[in-house]
Amino acid sequence: MNKIIMLMLMLMWLSIFIQCQSQKKDKYMIPIVDNKYEKFDIENFQNKSVRGYLKVRENNNTYIQDFQSPGYREMIYNDNLFYKVTKFFYENGNIEKKGCLFNEGSVAGIWYYFDKSGKIVKEENTDEGYEFKPEDIIVYCEKNKINLSKGYHDSGYQTRVLKQEFEGKKVWRISHQTSGDTIEEIILDGKTGKELQKKTVPFYNP
C-alpha cells in the first residue's frame, strides 16, 4: 500500500513539474504565426472604426486595427505574452505580411510575405545573426528586474527592445524607465548577450 501511495505521489509531482515547465516555456516562446492566406474584413472595419481606428477586447486578447496608406493593419496583444502578432494587408484586403514583434520593439521569429493576389512569396527568419534569441532577452530582463510589458498598454512608458547595429555588430538595445525622469539603455551583443554598454539618459514625457 505504501509503495502505491509513493508511486501516486511521484506521478502527481511529475505532472505538476511538467505543467510548470510547459508554462515557463510558453511564456518565453514567440507565438506561432502560420503562412496561410488571410483576408481583412474591410466592410466590418469601415462600419465600426472611428477615424480609421478600431480596438476590440476579446477574452485575453486586444485587437487593434487601423488604416495604413495604402492598406490596413491588425495587431493582436495577449495579456500573458511579451509579443504582439502583427498583420499588414493590401488595399484589396489580401494579406501582405505577418509575424511577431516585441510589444514595444523589433520584429522576432519568422515573418511571411505575400503578393497582392495572396500568394506567399517569401519567408524570413528575422532572428538570423542573433544567437542571443528573443527568449534570452526575456530571461535577461527577469534576472535584472527589468519590467518587460505583457499585453496592450495605451499609456505610460513601456520597456522597449530593439534590434540595432552597434560598432559593426548586431545588438539588442533595451530601454527601460528606472525613475520618473530617467531611462536606462542597455546594449547586449546579439551573439553572446554580453553587456556592451549601459547608460542612463533623461526621460522627457511629451
Q: Computed from CA positions of residues 126, 128, 132, 136, in that sequence, does the dihedral angle turn out positive or negative?
A: positive
Position 6 scores a pLDDT of 54
The strand pairing partners of 186, in sequence order, are 174, 198
All residues at 6 or more sequence positions from 180 whose CB lies less than 8 Å from its CB, including other chains = 203
Nearest C-alpha neighbor of 187 from the set 149, 137, 147, 143: 137
All residues at 6 or more sequence positions from 23 whose CB lies less than 8 Å from its CB, including other chains = none
Intervals of the chain under pLDDT 50: 5, 7-9, 11-25
Cell reading at 8: 501516486
Rounded CA separation 77/61 (Å): 5
Position 202 scores a pLDDT of 87
CA 182 to chain CA mean position, Å: 24
Q: Which helix (DSSP H) or strand (DSSP E) does residue 128 occupy?
A: none
The three-class DSSP label of residue 9 is helix
196 close to 166: Cβ distance less than 8 angstroms: yes
Q: Write the pLDDT tens digit of every residue in 157-171.
A: 999 999 999 999 999
Q: Write the pLDDT tens digit of every residue in 116-163.
A: 999 999 999 999 999 999 999 999 999 999 999 999 999 889 999 999
Position 4 scores a pLDDT of 55
